[in-house]
Structure 1
Amino acid sequence: MSSKRGKMLLSCLVTVSVLAGCSSGKTAESGDGKAKAADEAQINATGFPIVNEKMTVNAFAAKFFANADWNNIRIWNDYETKTNIHVQWDTVQTDALKEKRNLLLAGNDYPELFYASAFSRSDLLKYGKQGAFIPLNDLIDKYAPNFKALMEKYPIIAKGITMPDGNIYGLPTIYDPEFKSVLYGTPWVKQEWLDNLGLKQPESLDDFYSMLKAFKDNDPNGNGQKDEIGWGAVGTAGIVNYLRGSFGLNTHGTSNINVDTDPETGKVRFIPADPRYKELLQFVNKLYKDGLLEQDIVSVKSTEVDSKGMQGLLGISDSVDPVAIYNQKGYVGLNVLKGPHGDQSYNAFGSPLGNIGMFVLTDKAKNPEAMMRWMDYFYSDEGIKLFFMGWKDETYVEDADGNVEYTEDIKNNPNGLTLDQAVGQYLVWLGGYYPGFVKQKYFKGAEGMPTSIENAKKAEPYALAQDQIWPPFNFTQEEQSELTTIQTDIDAYVLEMKDKFITGNESFDNWDKYVAALQKMGVDRYVAIYASAAERFAKAD
């Protein structure tokens, strides 16, 4: 998950104290959008069980593992015992999610609850406005103390999940802002090659070029062959993103990757038309032209890069620590480089918010108050621990300091199951599709490894502060409708031309023609819509 992320009416600033006041939608059970009192909803306001008389809820969810039957898996069976709420799951593999989800909604055959269904921001607003998705504001205020506390602690959450109509229609995946290595980390360089060639970590772009050239020419693996690849990756996004901060770009992170605030004018700018972006691409083109990047970087398959990685042929990898994916030890995080104008910033990361449409209650929900309590547990420390680790001395062990690890049967499964397969027998978080809170203490993916944590610490002095980060913006229906007609073509054109400029298939002599084409495609209106969103976001503080 390295890979690894808001806005609202100006008159309805989201603070937890006014959540209820922001709610303007209708629900089937409570026509004014307000949550019922606990006695009226026939739930317990706190503690467990949530309801005294067992209730059944029908839910739809996406999952990664075909062999995990959510109607007979430990996590949900145990939680049903705890809550007295039986969830009848209808699940679909993620590759069929969008089609099945849309069919359910189009046919008015949707369930009470959508879980791990990854609704887009535009869909949340669309179905919220139609009344199919109910506003969650008042439900959060009354029945989600754990989620509410996170909103108070990290204001970007409220700002990022609130639609321009003032309503919240979905609960998100949140990456703990304190869990730095799940949010950012520089690419990985093979320290042994630096040592073998007597090189230090690069500090500048010139140093970086010289290091990659030495990797290519000076046989750092000592086998007498020129088989080393300086920068190994699938696609050009990794190298471009790594260098964005070195060229003073993406001053609010990469959640809205093509726009930021120009430090000189204070106005929203379209990054892929900026002169500094051109400079960045020219530098990467030089690396490519001189054979310092994977030469098939635009078209190479991940399996090919993986094969080279496992042979130890990559000087730099832009994925997670190669020990986790290639079984190659000894890689360390690259330095954040100083660019040609003195910029030295690491900007290639987004907000702590993942998908914000991971938990949605529909107008068919018979007891939305109970289900908000049901979900809120998984934003608590106890619930997070259960969700990611399972059960003490069964799926995990805990030392005297509270550190947890999966049991040996999970880590080295006697039946030959991989870690994911072994964990997937009991838990449903595998694959990264879920509403919840990703906490370093309980998350055991590659980003939680000590090397990854060290990498993030190294980048931290140069990383954007959290209050500088923009989450992905939420647009009004009118803005979204207009943006949809121009953004798809513009974004696709930007990606196409990025690769052409880098590989030399398009001359930089044609840069002005490229910018003129963007103008014809409506880039000024694109920027104006984002500027409106940025203004709303700023005024929501």
Structure 2
Amino acid sequence: MLLNRKWVSGIVVCTAFSMLLACSNKAGSSDAVATKEPSKVTEGSQSEPYKLPFVEPGTATLRVASGDNLYAPNSYAQGTAVWDEFEKLTGVKIEWEVFPNSQYVESMGVRLAAARNLPDIFRLVDSPVKTASDGLIMPLNDLIAEHAPNIQQLFKDNPDMERMMTAPDGNIYSIHSNSAGAYMADPFGILIRKDWLDELGLKEPETLDQWYEVLKAFKTGDPNKNGKPDEIPISPEYSLKGLGLFGSAMGLHLFVYSDGYYPNKSEVIEYHWIKDEAKTFIEWLNKLYSEGLIDPNFMNNSYEQIDSGISRDLIGTTVHFVNNVNRFNGMQKDAGVAADWVITNPPSGPGHEPFYELGAPLGSGWAISKDAKDPVLAMKWLDYIYASEAGNRLVTFGIEGVSYEMKDGKPQFTDWTSKHPDGLSFNEALRSLGAMPNMPWLRMMDGPFSLQPQAILDKDPALSAQVSKVKEYLVPSNPVILDTPEEAEELARLNSEVETYVSETLLKFVTGQTPIDWEKFVSTTKALGMDRILEIKQQKYERYLNQ
């Protein structure tokens, strides 16, 4: 399958949001009404380049709310090398208001509900439609056009980014991380124990019939050689949607990225979970489950539970990002097992091109709040950390002379990242410096912000080979298109009941709790509102295609 749709040109998607908030020239005002139509930030003259530092060091502070560093021992609030360097370069002191990542949405949600004393900059935790309609964030169009030359240039070079960050009313309310290059360099797919295949004299499976035979052999052939029937042939993350990767054999986009919604060749959005092919797929999964080939706890498996099963040499197949082959091999090596995890090609079937989906490149949104005391300074700071080449190098590569060095004009990771003296993983090493942050940052497919993903692969030729193996099968997921407020409200109401019914019913089919009555399943799903959901998604998709 080729990347040949119009909407694939930038394969940029975004969390759905929409207009709602108009702002005045007075910072912090949430009840004024805009007096002019918003314009594209790339129209007109380029904003003037700014000089560093923005202010005399120590004279200005920005409050930034975020989930804390994913390397927990080094909190942003206590200082990290990367963000200390940003403070030196910009002159702006950052007052971090961080929360444990598992608590950020709830904790920040409470503050947003109070709508008082909000930080200058924060990560959105709810629909931007609701956030803006509540008057909590300000439009960024004029701020970008006048004070963000790097974002302006980014949008000129990547017009789909501006298009996908622009709400139906023409306003931009937040900026978003772009991980398109990271998804290309670290695709999500089916990972398998090649050493188990070799032990049993099997080839890597391609069709669903071959997958059944391999999983059955994992169950009965004692590939872990402990004399016990304790192997778990497949233990997926993401429950049924993780197993949905096997739907590739039937042309079904069932993984969490597209979540069952995908345009056909006629550009009509379909819901793949109610297609006839999905019935055959569910019957196949039911066969696997009934024969003990799927982890009996797959509905509720956690990341930690799967890791435990892998460490104990029990699991033969899972689904994950390809970089985890190294982590899994290392975990098992520590347990005395010489494992060889590899990514498989996506399952194939007659009449369908096999595929793995790319994740949505645009990630979390970051906004300037209504309470920002100096929106211009906040915009300049975001522009520098997010879209300047120097700022991007800090957040993607870390500190020169420690985590990277320059060779032939390009940054290259040092052995400090891959062979850390304290045994940290690659990601942990970078995050210990404050790089790879819980902030907006860019890892794109090409251009000046695409260097990090390839540099990671350059440091690991074996992993690079794994990525190259499946690169031809990577296709974009269904774009998530900006809602109008009315669309957002109606979809939220309809999706709540439909998603619950579909998930619960399909799991009962797979586990044999309920006989498979496909006609009733499809008719009930439609009766709960699926036809209207598809109608709304179609009008959004056509709006997107015609922009």
Q: Quickly name the TM-score band, shorter chain normalised.
A: 0.7 to 0.9
| Aligned with 2:68 (options 56, 60, 63) | 63
Give the SS at the match of 1:77: helix
| Aligned with 2:346 (options 329, 336, 345) | 336
Relative to 1, partners in 2 of residues 1:390 and 1:108: Cα closer, same or farther, differing over 3 Å? same
Aligned pairs for 1:419-458 within 5 A:
423-427=430-434, 429=436, 433-438=438-443, 441-442=451-452, 450-458=461-469
- 2:213 counterpart of 1:210: yes
Equivalence for 2:354: 345
- 2:272 counterpart of 1:271: yes
Equivalence for 1:404: 412
- C-alpha distance after superposition, 1:90-109 (max 9, x if no partner): 22222332233233233232
Relative to 1, partners in 2 of residues 1:67 and 1:331: Cα closer, same or farther, differing over 3 Å? closer
Equivalence for 1:494: 502
- C-alpha distance after superposition, 1:171-224 (max 9, x if no partner): 111103375133x24211222222222222222222222222222222333444
The alpha-carbon deviation at position 488 of structure 1 amounts to 1.3
Give the SS at the match of 1:370: helix
Relative to 1, partners in 2 of residues 1:256 and 1:210: Cα closer, same or farther, differing over 3 Å? closer
Relative to 1, partners in 2 of residues 1:301 and 1:326: Cα closer, same or farther, differing over 3 Å? farther
The alpha-carbon deviation at position 409 of structure 1 amounts to 8.9
| Aligned with 2:116 (options 97, 109, 112) | 109
- C-alpha distance after superposition, 1:98-154 (max 9, x if no partner): 233233233232435233x2433x2x2233244431111233334334333443444
The alpha-carbon deviation at position 502 of structure 1 amounts to 1.4
Equivalence for 1:537: 544
The alpha-carbon deviation at position 471 of structure 1 amounts to 2.9
Give the whole-Å Cα distance in 2 for the aligned partners of 1:193 and 1:507: 34
Equivalence for 2:31: none
Aligned pairs for 1:39-78 within 5 A:
45-51=49-55, 54-64=59-69, 65=72, 68-70=75-77, 72-78=79-85
Relative to 1, partners in 2 of residues 1:285 and 1:395: Cα closer, same or farther, differing over 3 Å? same
State the aligned residue count.
500
Q: 2:402–2:416: 8 Å Cα contact kept in structure 1?
A: no
| Aligned with 1:180 (options 175, 180, 184) | 184
| Aligned with 1:171 (options 144, 168, 175) | 175
Equivalence for 1:10: none
Aligned pairs for 1:447-526 within 5 A:
450-464=461-475, 466=476, 469-508=477-516, 510-526=517-533
Segment of structure 1 superposing worse, 301-310 or 401-410: 401-410
Give the whole-Å Cα distance in 1 for the aligned partners of 2:237 and 2:478: 27
Q: 2:63–2:95: 8 Å Cα contact kept in structure 1?
A: yes
Give the SS at the match of 1:438: coil
Equivalence for 1:40: none
Give the SS at the match of 2:233: strand
The alpha-carbon deviation at position 279 of structure 1 amounts to 1.8
Q: 2:189–2:320: 8 Å Cα contact kept in structure 1?
A: no
Give the whole-Å Cα distance in 2 for the aligned partners of 1:492 and 1:296: 19
Give the whole-Å Cα distance in 2 for the aligned partners of 1:224 and 1:511: 41
Q: 2:234–2:295: 8 Å Cα contact kept in structure 1?
A: yes
Letter in 1 for 2:439: Y
Give the whole-Å Cα distance in 2 for the aligned partners of 1:254 and 1:532: 22
Give the whole-Å Cα distance in 1 for the aligned partners of 2:536 and 2:498: 14
The alpha-carbon deviation at position 477 of structure 1 amounts to 0.9
Equivalence for 2:447: none
Give the whole-Å Cα distance in 2 for the aligned partners of 1:261 and 1:179: 21
Relative to 1, partners in 2 of residues 1:315 and 1:102: Cα closer, same or farther, differing over 3 Å? closer
Relative to 1, partners in 2 of residues 1:168 and 1:239: Cα closer, same or farther, differing over 3 Å? same
Relative to 1, partners in 2 of residues 1:186 and 1:303: Cα closer, same or farther, differing over 3 Å? closer
Relative to 1, partners in 2 of residues 1:398 and 1:428: Cα closer, same or farther, differing over 3 Å? closer
Which ranges of structure 2 fall in alignment gaps of 5 or more residues? 1-5, 13-18, 28-33, 40-46, 333-338, 445-449
- 2:141 counterpart of 1:133: no
Q: 1:336–1:344: 8 Å Cα contact kept in structure 2?
A: no
Relative to 1, partners in 2 of residues 1:137 and 1:325: Cα closer, same or farther, differing over 3 Å? farther
Equivalence for 2:15: none
Segment of structure 1 superposing worse, 523-532 or 291-300: 291-300
Letter in 2 for 1:212: L
Equivalence for 2:235: 232
Letter in 1 for 2:500: A
Q: 1:388–1:427: 8 Å Cα contact kept in structure 2?
A: no
- C-alpha distance after superposition, 1:440-472 (max 9, x if no partner): 6436989985444433322222222x5xx4332
Q: 1:345–1:463: 8 Å Cα contact kept in structure 2?
A: no
- 2:254 counterpart of 1:257: no
Equivalence for 2:22: 25
Q: 1:230–1:292: 8 Å Cα contact kept in structure 2?
A: yes
Letter in 1 for 2:380: R
Q: 2:183–2:358: 8 Å Cα contact kept in structure 1?
A: no
Letter in 2 for 1:25: A
Give the SS at the match of 2:67: strand
Equivalence for 1:39: none
Q: 2:137–2:368: 8 Å Cα contact kept in structure 1?
A: yes
Identity, in percent, stands at: 25
Give the SS at the match of 1:371: helix
Segment of structure 1 superposing worse, 221-230 or 490-499: 221-230
Equivalence for 2:30: none
Aligned pairs for 1:144-163 within 5 A:
144-163=148-167
Letter in 1 for 2:208: L
Relative to 1, partners in 2 of residues 1:97 and 1:499: Cα closer, same or farther, differing over 3 Å? same
Give the whole-Å Cα distance in 1 for the aligned partners of 2:505 and 2:498: 10
Q: 2:237–2:303: 8 Å Cα contact kept in structure 1?
A: yes
RMSD: 3.5
Q: 2:417–2:426: 8 Å Cα contact kept in structure 1?
A: no
Give the SS at the match of 1:278: helix
The alpha-carbon deviation at position 360 of structure 1 amounts to 0.6
Segment of structure 1 superposing worse, 280-289 or 442-451: 442-451
Segment of structure 1 superposing worse, 330-339 or 373-382: 373-382
The alpha-carbon deviation at position 238 of structure 1 amounts to 5.5
Q: 1:23–1:167: 8 Å Cα contact kept in structure 2?
A: no
Give the SS at the match of 2:367: strand
Equivalence for 1:292: 293
Letter in 1 for 2:352: D
Give the SS at the match of 2:358: coil
Give the whole-Å Cα distance in 2 for the aligned partners of 1:186 and 1:142: 43
- C-alpha distance after superposition, 1:29-59 (max 9, x if no partner): 3865889xxxxxxx97333122457322233
Give the SS at the match of 2:482: coil
- 2:222 counterpart of 1:219: yes
Report the TM-score, using the length of structure 1 for normalisation: 0.81
The alpha-carbon deviation at position 343 of structure 1 amounts to 0.8
Give the SS at the match of 2:382: helix
Which ranges of structure 1 fall in alignment gaps of 5 or more residues? 1-5, 8-13, 15-21, 36-42
Give the SS at the match of 1:485: helix
The alpha-carbon deviation at position 420 of structure 1 amounts to 6.1
Letter in 1 for 2:212: Y
